[in-house]
Amino acid sequence: MSEVFFYFFSVLSIVFAAVAVTSQNIIRGGVALLGCFVSLGAVYFTVGAEFLGIVQVIVYGGAIIVLYLFALMTMDLASLKSEPFKAFLVAAGGLLSVVTAFLLLTGGMVLTKDFKPSISGAEDLALPMFFKFLLPFEVVSVLLLIATVGAVAIGRRES
Amino acid sequence: MTSNFLSLLFVVGLMLVAVPPITYLERKVLGHMQQRPGPMVVGFHGLLQPLADAIKLIFKEDIVPRGADRLLFMLAPSFSVFGALLAASVVPIGFIQAVPLKSGLLFVMAMSAISIYALVLAGYASNSKYSFLGGMRAAAQVLGFELPMGFAIMAMVLLYGTLDFNEMVKWQQEHGWGIFYQPVAFLLFLFMMVAEIGRPPFDLPEGESELVGGFHTEYSGMRFAAFYFGEYINIIVLSLIVSLLFLGGWSGPFAKEYPVLGVIYHLLKAGFFIFLTFWLRATFPRYRFDQMLSIMWKIMLPVSIVNVFVAALQVFLFRL
| Final residue of a structural domain among A45, A62, A77 | A77
Alpha carbon B234 to its chain centroid, in Å, reads 3
Q: How far is A51 from chain B (nearest CA, A)?
A: 6
Nearest to B121, CA basis, from B230, B7, B3, B233: B230
A102 part of a folded domain: no
Chain A 77-116, residues with CB within 8 Å of chain B CB atoms? none
pLDDT at B121 (0 to 100): 84
A85 lies in some domain: no
pLDDT, one tens digit per residue, over A15-32 is 999 998 888 778 888 888
Q: Which of A25, A52, A54 best probes binding to B when mutated, by most B CB atoms within 10 angstroms?
A: A54
Residues A72 and A142 reside in one and the same domain: no
Contacts of A122 in chain B (CB under 8 A): 103, 106, 163
In DSSP notation, A73-124 reads: HHS-HHHHHTSPP-HHHHHHHHHHHHHHHHHHHHHHHHT-S----S--SHHH
pLDDT at residue A141 above 60? Answer: yes
CB-CB neighbors (< 8 A) of B142 in chain A: 62, 66
* Mean per-residue pLDDT, A80-95: 80
Residues 84-143 of chain B whose Cβ lies under 8 A from any Cβ of chain A: 101-103, 106-107, 109-111, 113-114, 116-117, 120-121, 124, 132, 135-136, 139-140, 142-143
| pTM given for the model | 0.83
Domain end residue (candidates: A77, A110, A137): A77
Answer yes or no: is A84 within a domain: no
- CA atoms within 13 Å, Cβ hemisphere of A147: 6
Total Cβ atoms within 10 A of residue B62: 11
Do A1 and A72 sit in the same domain of this protein?
A: yes
**Cα–Cα dist A74/A82, whole Å:** 17
pLDDT at B8: 83
B70 touches chain A (CB under 8 A): no
The count of structural domains within chain A is: 2
Does some domain include residue A87?
no
- Angle at Cα B222 formed by Cα B216 and Cα B225, nearest 5°? 55
Residue B63: CB partners within 8 Å, gap ≥ 6? B218, B219, B220, B221
Residues of chain A with Cβ-Cβ distance to B131 below 8 Å are none
CB contact under 8 A, B110 and A57: yes
B241 vs A77, residue with greater confidence: B241
Q: What is the DSSP letter of B39?
A: S
Q: What is the predicted pLDDT for the residue at A83?
A: 66
- Please report the pLDDT score of residue A99 as a whole number: 93
Reported ipTM? 0.78
List, for chain B, all residue ranges whose pLDDT scores fall below the cut of 50.
1
Question: What pLDDT is recorded for position A120?
Answer: 66
The verdict on A125 and A71 lying in the same domain is: no
Question: Do the Cβ atoms of B110 and A51 come within 8 Å?
Answer: no
The end-to-end CA distance of chain A, in Å, is: 55
Domain that holds residue A71: 1-77
The reply to whether B17 touches chain A by the CB within 8 Å rule is: no
Confidence band, pLDDT 50/70/90 cuts, at residue A159: low
Nearest to A42 by CA among B107, B91, B116, B84: B107
Interacting residues of A79 by C-beta distance below 8 A, sequence separation 6+ = none
Within a domain: residue A52? Answer: yes
Nearest to B13 by CA among B88, B68, B110, B74: B88
Q: How confident is the model at residue A118 (pLDDT cuts 50, 70, 90)?
A: low
Q: Which of A77, A103, A131 is the last residue of a domain?
A: A77
Q: What mean pLDDT do residues A59-85 have?
A: 76
pLDDT for the residue A139: 92
Q: Does residue A48 belong to the interface with chain B, where contact is any CB pair within 8 Å? A: no
Q: Is A111's pLDDT higher than 70?
A: no
Q: A45 in a domain, yes or no?
A: yes
Enumerate residues 6+ apart whose C-beta is below 8 A from B305: B151
The reported pLDDT for the residue numbered B1 is 44
CA distances from B287 to A49, B199, B201, B298 (A): 41, 11, 6, 15
CA distance to partner chain B, nearest, from residue A4 (Å): 19
Residue A140 lies in a domain: yes
Residue A57 lies in a domain: yes
Q: What is the CATH number for A29?
A: 1.20.120.1200
